Amino acid sequence: VVGDLVYIRKNECFPCDLVVLNTSSDNGIAYIETSTLDGEKNLKPRKALDATLGKIDETSRFTELGVIECETPNPKIYAFSGSFDYQQQNRPLDKNNLCLGGAYLRNTDWIIGVAVYTGRDTKLRQNLMSRKFKQSRVDAKVNLYVIYILGFQFTMCLVGAIGSGVWTGANWEDHKYLGDNEYGAGTQGFMTYFTYFLLLNTMLPISLIISLEVLRVIQGFFMQKDIEMYSFLRDRPCKVSSFSLNEELGMIQHIFSDKTGTLTQNKMEFKLCTIGMKTYGDEKVLGNKSYRTKSTYSNIEINFSFRTIELQNEVFNEQEKPIAPIVMEVDGEVKQLNTQKQLCEYFLKCMALCHECLTEKEHNDIKYIGQSPDEISLVDCARRVGFKYLTTRADIIELEIMDFKQPEGSLIEKYRKVCFFEFDSDRKRNSIVVEDLTTGNYILFAKGADNVMWELLSSQNPSDLVASVAKDLEVYSKRGFRTLVLAFKFLGKKEFVELKAKYDEASNSIEDKEKKLNNVAKLMEKDLFVLGCTAVEDSLQDEVPDVIKAFLDAGIKFWMLTGDKLETAENIGKTCALVEDTTHLERCPALPLEECCRTLREIKNEVTNSKSEVALIIAGGSLDYVLYDSSDSEKRLKFPEISSSPKTEKLATEVRELFLEVTEKCKTVICCRATPGQKQEVVNLMKTQTGLTTLSIGDGANDVSMILEAHVGVGLYGEEGMQAVQASDYSVGEFKFLWNLLLVHGRFNYIRQSEMIKYFFYKNLVFTIPQFYFMFYCAFSGQTVYDDWYITFYNLIFTAFPLLVRAVFEKDIKLPSKSDYNLSDYALVDYSNLDNNMKILRSLPQVYDIGRENQSFRSFNFWTWVAVGVWHSLIAFFIPFSAATNEAMNSEGHSVDLWAFSITSFTVIIFLVNLKLVFHTKLWNVFHFVSIIGLSLLLYFLFILTYDLYTATPMYSTLYHLLGTGYFYASIIVCVLLVVLLDGTAYLLRILVWPTKSEELSYMSTRASSTPKSSVYNIVELRNSSSYQNPVVLSPTSGNSHEDPRRILSNNYAKQPKLDPEIDIN
């Protein structure tokens, strides 16, 4: 129960949510694994309360009194606020003190904690909620078609009812053998309506739902086992969470993508920094994108290639270079930095102290761990320059200052951690207040996005220093680096005491704790003095430009939503091929409302008159106007400057309309400085206003709302946790696998399911409509033309397996393995010099329109299949019926009766529906032959032969006599030949005269060379040939090169099912 002390050993599961009181480690740190809650395997540190650390262990008893107050139960697993009143002192509690129920204790011998949430109040139970319902467009269309077919069925039932009433009133008395009519003509017709409703219910494909679900599960299995989508870099296969959206992957019209960790590796490399008016690092990287500085250290989160020697000389050199002084007055005392060495020291201290990283022992050194690779790269860089963050114990931060010239003479500086304000997507900054235990000074260090930090600077900053940092910042951004501005200030004793009291009050509050802390942060984080800025590179993932180009070639709109500044976003857009040299690029930065409206009007005119492809970059400040909705009360409160007058609201409405008009003509759009909420609202806006099928892809918690909003959400396994993966419908290890997910699996899934659904309606119509024809020959009596067991087994066995096998294995194009070809190597090679395999891969995006435009499941196609079903039902009924009515008696005096005609007509239907399947199957393997010949035709004949032996059935011995007549065989042969002649001719004529792009590519795929890539041609020779198009600016995929291990795949990973050799026919 709440308040109990709980003792947990290593590798045990937490039974409830606990506040940690003590751990087996001296520093009070314990590590937990939360994979059961958020899927993350990486260990998270939790800290015991300083007041109780060491006062209780597994052998002693804790008898002191303390009171814990915490917020009401909620599902936020990354947030917790409370207070601990102990020994007449109130101490704040946060997420770092809470061990979550369902998590496991790792790398720590034991912990002791107090239960705060139990049972259904735990974070785990609070998160047990159903996923957001998503329905594919195919499912929605099926529901509509079912309504049409149901209307068709009602109409036929009504015809039967009317016919029964008319016939009863006109002819009953003439047929004395029927006896007396107990009901009137109207009553008889009314009852006949329901008789035919039951008789014709097979027209509705009830088993279609089950068949579709089975198919989707099988498709999901193959997607998860596809070695082409297995990430060896992250040791992750594709994960399918929503099988019901498999076909939607082949219908995507609009992709929204995050940048960091999605298009980029989220593996940070500290490149450059500006301190004061001087730049440190290898400036060659600014002029040459392909230039690479040799890495001296690398792990899964960071690369380190920064040239430290110049900065080290600046910091540890006895000769100090004077600079324009930074002067501030604190408690009547003037403090100033007047040398470059002092400025560098405070810059490095800001990097080493202002963060949330923890240390972990690694061999004989320490390793930094944290949620943000950006922070880790900064702390690691400071350490390699000589300012090494060691640890934090009882709020005392230890910093080792180590002169690289005299490493044995290191100095330990200690700082008391007084206040800390975390980074979030709204604040876009974090800060820390520390007390220098040597000098007694209170110092605030802050770092954050430039657009936020500029507003916090003091007017006393040297103007030339600010201008120099701003200029370098712009250069870094244009190069595509991630930038942060670093600043600091000294706090006076009086000012500090006042602000600390407010901080303690906000920290100990239960309700609105985050809001209150932000208010205190605003009071502290002002009048700052700039120290400089940093430039960190986040390289693109493999094949990103080629994959994005493939999507654009497929007619899919691709938008990038990022929190980076406009210049950085523009450069990344060019690097990843979203914006090409020939693209007409328009920009809409953060502007006041009227100016934003005017800018968009001008952009609209430019876009309308532009003859080239157009791209738009719009900043988050302008997006606020686009996303403003006057009917939303929260929006009105959030933006009073818009809601204050009808004029501004009208302008905001015009901005939205202009934005939609402009983006409709744009090839791509980049939204920069976008918050997570804006990302979600942009997806919602385009989804509702354009009606396009959307896909969102991201890798972090800030992408979850966007992923949930889109029709299809894809999560990437990245460095920012598993929240995006947990919220997504599909998950992949790297962005490049989205190519396979959409262009291969998505397209095939769409074709398979759309044709399966059409075929299902077709075969049910062929089988059911003869009941309608027969009503005109049985006096509308409701007599069935087929036996009940024949009806039962038709969908269950006779036609089930061939359809399912085709739906699982059907491919209209035989694709070569993409892993055998590096798209980047062949991206600039002339199409005519490619081998057939590479031509197929290059052309595949162009045939994605079959699903993007919903070509296979349009109303015209559906009604065509319905018409063919009606046509085949006419053949299956009237040819055997006409032959039966004209058939003379055989030598034994037997004529064709109802059940002989029934068996013949039903056999014709079995042959016709299988023949239709044969016509439309492109890819053949042994399973197709087994399913059609063995599991359909052979099973059918075994059934009718066995059923003919049962004396209790009306068909007893009918087949025995029927097989001895020419009527049975002639009817089947005539019907089959008629369908082959007419339908086959029409099919061949269409593909020869009006072939689709898919059929042309399918023809090429049957003749594709099976020669391995290495022997097709030498790519180096090709590049030297005249057919190779040398680009003006070559933007190769960045990142570490890894040998693709697919060719040397071991048996550690589950093998794909091995199919028999495939035969392609068209």
Total Cβ atoms within 10 A of residue 535? 26
First to last CA, the chain: 69
- Give, for 738, the enclosing helix (H) or strand (E): helix 737-739
Residue 108 annotated in ligand binding: no
For the 264-537 domain, the top CATH level (class) is alpha beta
Q: Please check whether residue 221 is in contact with residue 812, taking contact to mean a CB–CB distance below 8 angstroms.
A: no
Distance in angstroms (rounded) separating the CA atoms of residues 276 and 468: 8
Distance in angstroms (rounded) separating the CA atoms of residues 685 and 651: 18
The DSSP symbol for 251 reads S
Q: What is the pLDDT of residue 25?
A: 84
Residue 180 annotated in ligand binding: no
List, in sequence order, every residue forming a beta bridge with 432; answer none if it has no partner.
420, 445
Which pLDDT tens digit goes with each residue over 968-981? Answer: 999 999 999 999 99
List, in sequence order, every residue forming a beta bridge with 431; answer none if it has no partner.
421, 446
Q: Please check whether residue 753 is in contact with residue 244, taking contact to mean a CB–CB distance below 8 angstroms.
A: no
Which pLDDT tens digit goes with each residue over 859-894? Answer: 999 999 999 999 999 999 999 999 888 765 556 666
Structure-block tokens of residue 268: 């940070």
494-512 burial: b if 16+ Cβ within 10 Å, else e: eebeebbebbbebbbbeee
Residue 121 annotated in ligand binding: no
Residue 636 annotated in ligand binding: no
Residue 447 annotated in ligand binding: yes
For residue 533, give the nearest of 619, 602, 469 by alpha carbon. Answer: 469
Q: Please check whether residue 959 is in contact with residue 944, taking contact to mean a CB–CB distance below 8 angstroms.
A: yes
Q: Give 294: exposed, middle or buried? Use CB within 10 Å, 0-12, 13-18, 19+.
A: exposed
Catalytic residues: 258
DSSP characters over 956-989: TTHHHHHTTSHHHHHHHHHHHHHHHHHHHHHHHH
Structure-block tokens of residue 1029: 């198009």
Residue boundaries of the structural domains of the chain: 5-126, 264-537, 744-812+858-994
Q: Please check whether residue 456 is in contact with residue 528, taking contact to mean a CB–CB distance below 8 angstroms.
A: yes
Residue 812 annotated in ligand binding: no
Residue 702 annotated in ligand binding: yes
Angle between helices 800-809 and 206-224 (to 10 degrees): 30
Q: What's the CATH number for 5-126? A: 2.70.150
Which pLDDT tens digit goes with each residue over 544-592? Answer: 999 999 999 999 999 999 888 787 788 888 888 888 878 889 999 888 8
Residue 292 annotated in ligand binding: no
Question: What is each CA distance from 179 to 163, 173, 198, 543, 725, in whole angstroms?
Answer: 20, 9, 25, 82, 72
Residue 512 annotated in ligand binding: no
Q: Give 436: exposed, middle or buried? Use CB within 10 Å, 0-12, 13-18, 19+.
A: middle
Distance in angstroms (rounded) separating the CA atoms of residues 347 and 639: 37
Residue 522 annotated in ligand binding: no
Q: Please check whether residue 46 is in contact with residue 146, taking contact to mean a CB–CB distance below 8 angstroms.
A: no
Question: What is each CA distance from 734 to 263, 544, 739, in whole angstroms?
Answer: 9, 10, 10
Structure-block tokens of residue 244: 């019901």
Structure-block tokens of residue 42: 């990486």
Spans of the chain below 50 pLDDT? 129-130, 1009-1066
pTM of the model: 0.77
Distance in angstroms (rounded) separating the CA atoms of residues 414 and 400: 9
> If DSSP codes are grouped into helix, strand and coil, which group holds residue 15?
coil
Structure-block tokens of residue 548: 């994005």
Could you tell me how far CA 479 lies from the centroid of its own chain? 28
Q: What is the pLDDT of residue 333?
A: 86
Residue 571 annotated in ligand binding: no
Residue 260 annotated in ligand binding: yes
Residue 10 annotated in ligand binding: no
Distance in angstroms (rounded) separating the CA atoms of residues 1011 and 1009: 5
